[in-house]
Structure 1
Amino acid sequence: MTDDDMSPLDRLLAERACERLILEFVHRLDLGEPGSVADLFTPGGIWEWQADGRRVEGREALRACFAGRPADRLSRRLMTNVLVTVTSPSTATAVSYLATYRVDGFDGRMLPPRLPANVGHYEDEFHRTGGTWLLAHRRTFLPFGASTERVGPPRG
C-alpha cells in the first residue's frame, strides 16, 4: 500500500498521531519526566541540533541527555504551525515552530515575564512500528537563542 492508497481517515489518524507526539514531547519536558521523552523515539532514534552539530542517538543516550537537565529548571515550550505530511502508511514528516521560555534556579515563585530563550523549528521524521507512531529523527533549528538565565542563587 502506498500513501495514495490510504483512506482519508487513515491519513487523518496518522497525522493526528504524529501531531500528538510533538505535543507529548514538550509536555513531558515541561510538566512531566524529561527523561521519558526517549520513549517517544524509535530505539535508534536521533536528535540533532543544526546550530552546533550536537547529535544524540538511541533511546538510552536520549534518556540520559534529558534526564540530566537541572532539577531547578523551569521551562515552557509553545508549539505552533504543526504541519504533518504522511509519506506512506508507516512514515511521515513534520515541521513545527517552537518558542522556549526557560530559566534555571526556579524556586516555585511566580517570575516576571521574559523573552524566550529560543525560537526556531523542528523537522521530524516519524516511523510507525507495530501500530505505534514514534519519532525516528528530530532536527532542531534555532535561529534565535540565548543561554539559559539563572534566577536563583548559583548552584554550589
Structure 2
Amino acid sequence: MDPMERLLAERACERLILDFVHRLDLGEPALVAELFTEDGWWEWPPPGDGRRSEGREALRTYFGARPADKLSRRIMSNIRVTVTSPDTAEATSYFTTYRVEGWTGGMVPAGPPVQVGHYEDTFRRVGGRWLLTSRTLRLPFGGPTPRAGD
C-alpha cells in the first residue's frame, strides 16, 4: 500500500474506535450498530459473563437497551491499528470505564474506574467506508458498578 493510503486507513479505523465510545457515552447507544458491517459482531467472552451480539439488528438491540440511569465515560488510549491489506485492518486499544447506575442528572462524585481492559478489533472497507467487523472486549480488571449517591 501507498504510505498515504495506509495512514488514511489507520486514521479511519482510529476514528471508528473513538466514535464507538462517543456514541455509547454521549450519543445514542443504538447507533453503535451503524459502525459495524452487516455481519459484524461484538463479544465479551468468558470467564464470567460471556456475551455476543451478531449482526446490525442484534447490535442495535443490545446497545440500545442500555438503561437511561447508567452514566458512563470511557477513556480510550494506546490505539494501535495495523493495516493488513488494502481493505482489512486490525487494532488493539485500551480503555478505562467510569460508571454509575441510578443517575438522575447532574454531577456525581468521582470514583475509581469500574473497568480497565482492551479491545481487539477487526475492520473491513465496504464501499469505500471502513467499518468494524468484530470487536472483542478483554477485561483483566473489573468490579461492581456503584449506584449514584452510595
For 1:3, the equivalent position in structure 2 comes to none
State the secondary structure of the residue aligned to 1:24: helix
Q: Where do residues 4-153 of structure 1 align in structure 2 (5 Å cutoff)?
A: 6-51=1-46, 52-151=49-148
Deviations 1:92-146 (A, max 9, x none): 0000000011111112221111011110000000000000000001110001111
Tell me if structure 2 keeps the 8 A contact 1:75–1:101: yes
Which consecutive segments of 4 or more residues in structure 1 shift more than 3 A? none
Residues matched between the structures, number: 148
- Give, as a single letter, the amino acid of the residue that structure 2 aligns with 1:29: L
Query: Which whole-Å CA distance do the structure 2 matches of 1:123 and 1:150 have between them?
Result: 29
- Give, as a single letter, the amino acid of the residue that structure 1 aligns with 2:43: E
TM-score scaled by structure 2? Answer: 0.95
Tell me if structure 2 keeps the 8 A contact 1:107–1:152: no
State the secondary structure of the residue aligned to 1:149: coil
Deviations 1:6-47 (A, max 9, x none): 110000000000000000000000000000000000001111
Query: Which whole-Å CA distance do the structure 2 matches of 1:23 and 1:69 have between them?
Result: 19
State the secondary structure of the residue aligned to 2:96: strand
**Structure 1 unmatched ranges of 5 or more:** 1-5
Tell me if structure 2 keeps the 8 A contact 1:104–1:152: no
Q: Percent identity?
A: 66
C-alpha displacement of 1:72: 1.1
TM-score scaled by structure 1? Answer: 0.92
